[in-house]
Amino acid sequence: MEAENEPAVSVYWQPGCTSCLRTKEFLTRHGVAFRSRNVLADESAFAELARFGLRQVPIVTRGDDWANGQVLADVARVAGIPWGRAAILPPEELRRRLDAILDGALRFLGQLPEEALERQLPNRPRAYADLVFHIFDIAEAYLEQDRGIPLTFDSYNRVPAPGARDKAALAALGRDVRARLDAWFEGPGRQADWNARAEVYYGEQTLQQFLERTTWHAGQHTRQLMWVLEGLGIAPDRPLGPETFAGLPMPEKVWDGEALAS
């Protein structure tokens, strides 16, 4: 049983999770106190979510109610925060931003020393190679929608195949995904119904909302890749700035207050 002085709202999260950080910032910005439950630091945290039949993050709970932190409108409902209609960039602009983000990720990968690829991010079992792969795989997961493959929680937890963790293999993946995204936008994407429902695990979302989520999700992890380079004493080549991220529902921070070991 929770102590009487504990906040009514709980947030279940893990370090390096873009939506987790955004959820915590959203609640803090609106003055909502919450009980912080890092599922990687406390084994009992996931056990608490079992009563909802959940084993994923970010999750926000209040009593018997819960919301997936991927959708801030749902978080607002659970936390009692007034919510209006959120503005969203047009699909063509989201396409342009996503391409700039993937181009940046390829550029920053080129600067990453090969011997640093297996270094781990702070308090998260994710190597730099996995971070790079994840950026490109986020876009891959978006393309899978056109092949009738729904987005699941596990879609965002894939890792490179054995033998495909070096810079050459990761760069080839990034170039391939970027080219296929461009081909999709120039082909099927021209007739896309952006108000159609996207098959995603975190609730009712349109295809445009899924593209927005893909764009800022990849963008936040690319910010982390720039942060990784800086931690290695390497200045990112043509770093992505506000012009790339403006209008996207990004977290303010890059990471959960942790510093990278040099």
The per-residue pLDDT for 3 is 52
According to CATH, the topology of domain 91-245 is Four Helix Bundle (Hemerythrin (Met), subunit A) (1.20.120)
User: Are the CB atoms for 60 and 11 separated by under 8 Å?
Assistant: yes
Residue in 18, 15, 262, 256 with CA at minimum distance from that of residue 126? 15
Measured CA to CA, the distance from residue 158 to residue 155 in angstroms comes to: 6
Measured CA to CA, the distance from residue 75 to residue 29 in angstroms comes to: 13
Residues 6+ apart with CB under 8 A from 217: 18, 19, 138
pLDDT at 169 over 60: yes
Please give the average per-residue pLDDT across 82-101, as a whole number: 94
The token pair that represents 158 in the structure block:
């894939």
The per-residue pLDDT for 2 is 47
The per-residue pLDDT for 260 is 55
pLDDT in tens, 96-151: 999 999 999 999 999 999 999 999 999 899 999 999 999 999 999 999 999 999 99
User: Are the CB atoms for 151 and 124 separated by under 8 Å?
Assistant: no
Residues 6+ apart with CB under 8 A from 53: none
Amino acid at 179: A
Sign of the torsion formed by the C-alpha atoms of 36, 152, 112 and 98:
negative
The per-residue pLDDT for 1 is 40
According to CATH, the topology of domain 9-79 is Glutaredoxin (3.40.30)
pLDDT in tens, 2-57: 456 778 999 999 999 999 999 999 999 999 999 999 999 988 998 899 989 988 99
The per-residue pLDDT for 166 is 98
pLDDT at 85 over 80: no
pLDDT at 258 over 70: no
- The listed range with the strongest mean pLDDT (73-87, 136-150, 245-259) is 136-150
**pLDDT over 90 percentage in the chain:** 86
Sign of the torsion formed by the C-alpha atoms of 216, 220, 226 and 230:
positive
Q: What integer best gives the mean pLDDT of the chain?
A: 93
Q: What share of the chain is helix, strand, coil (3-state, %, to 5)?
A: 50, 10, 40
User: Are the CB atoms for 141 and 156 separated by under 8 Å?
Assistant: yes
- Ranges of each domain in the chain: 9-79, 91-245
SS3 28: helix
pTM: 0.90
